[in-house]
């Protein structure tokens, strides 16, 4: 339940959050086409820096050395985990910059949602942000894609799974968590995604986990645990 009465400005922020999220998703998919998946994944995961700074400046959520150290360790772990796959070159520069902009936009989105959690429930935030994100993505879909609808049953199953699991469940859990956890730590928790991706690739696709991935994943988890202790 909300703790404050919502104002027209709050509903405007809801709409803005959805637009930002939609633009962020659109830029992310464009970035993947201009750089490697590894580069896009790494550079788009620097949002904890944006969220932590914004939480201190705009949400009055203090931080401390233990949390900052945990965040730095988790970020370093992400770099180690992706080090074998990341390729720094002029050819990928535009895609890398777009991926970095994704981390900034997602950080702003998290900050807005964290602010709105005191005024709206998870369901309200999800309905509004998803609706506005869809509107923001429509021009991208029309301008960049030749095929708007999946032509096969398997394609539809994949789209539905992404919509339900990644957007519906994943973003709902993040929104719910922001009512109980500091925004900074919630964003740091997102750094486990590259480690989970490597784990699922090993389980489902049979891709071997190299030493960099194993060490990087362990470092990420250690950093997240330390950040959590620092955010209590």
Pairwise pLDDT comparison (90 vs 3), residue with the higher score: 90
Rounded CA separation 230/232 (Å): 6
DSSP 183: H
pLDDT digits (tens, 9 = 90+) for 85-118: 777 788 889 999 999 999 999 999 999 999 999 8
Are 183 and 61 contacting, i.e. CB atoms less than 8 angstroms apart? yes
Average pLDDT of the residues in 166-192: 90
Are 3 and 118 contacting, i.e. CB atoms less than 8 angstroms apart? yes
What pLDDT score does 42 carry? 85
Q: How many CA atoms lie within 13 A of 106 on its CB side?
A: 27
Q: How many Cβ atoms from other residues are within 10 Å of residue 161's Cβ?
A: 10
* Structural domain harbouring 199: 8-230
pLDDT digits (tens, 9 = 90+) for 11-65: 999 999 999 999 999 999 889 889 887 788 888 889 999 999 999 999 989 889 9
Are 195 and 131 contacting, i.e. CB atoms less than 8 angstroms apart? no
Residue 28 in any domain: the answer is yes
Residue 207 in any domain: the answer is yes
Rounded CA separation 65/52 (Å): 12
Residue 2 in any domain: the answer is no
Per the structure, the count of domains in the chain is 1
Residue 1 in any domain: the answer is no
Residue 116: closest CA among 15, 199, 222, 232? 15
Residue 60 in any domain: the answer is yes
Length of the chain: 232
- In percent, how much of the chain has pLDDT > 70? 97
Nearest-Å Rg of the Cα atoms of the chain is: 18
What pLDDT score does 3 carry? 58
Q: How far is CA 62 from CA 52, 69, 178, in A?
A: 9, 14, 15
- The dihedral over CA atoms of 79, 82, 86, 88, expressed in degrees to the nearest 10, equals 0
Q: What is the pTM of this model?
A: 0.89
At 65 the three-state DSSP class reads: helix
């Amino acid at each position: 339940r909300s703790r404050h009465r919502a104002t027209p400005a709050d509903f405007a922020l809801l709409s803005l959050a959805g637009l930002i999220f939609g633009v962020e998703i659109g830029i992310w998919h464009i970035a993947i086409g201009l750089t490697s998946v590894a580069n896009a994944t790494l550079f788009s995961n620097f949002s904890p820096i944006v969220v932590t700074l914004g939480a201190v400046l705009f949400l009055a959520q203090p931080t401390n050395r233990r949390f900052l150290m945990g965040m730095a360790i988790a970020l370093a772990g992400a770099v180690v985990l992706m080090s074998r796959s990341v390729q720094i070159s002029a050819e990928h520069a535009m895609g890398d910059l777009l991926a970095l902009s994704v981390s900034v936009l997602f950080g702003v989105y998290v900050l807005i949602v964290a602010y709105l959690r005191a005024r709206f429930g998870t369901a309200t935030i999800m309905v509004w942000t998803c609706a506005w994100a869809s509107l923001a993505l429509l021009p991208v879909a029309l301008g960049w894609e030749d095929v708007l609808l999946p032509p096969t049953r398997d394609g539809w199953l994949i789209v539905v799974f992404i919509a339900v699991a990644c957007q519906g469940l994943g973003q709902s859990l993040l929104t719910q968590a922001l009512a109980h956890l500091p925004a900074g730590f919630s964003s740091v928790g997102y750094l486990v995604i590259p480690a989970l991706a490597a784990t699922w690739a090993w389980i489902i696709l049979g891709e071997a986990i190299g030493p960099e991935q194993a060490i990087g994943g362990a470092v990420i988890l250690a950093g997240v645990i330390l950040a959590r202790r620092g955010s209590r």
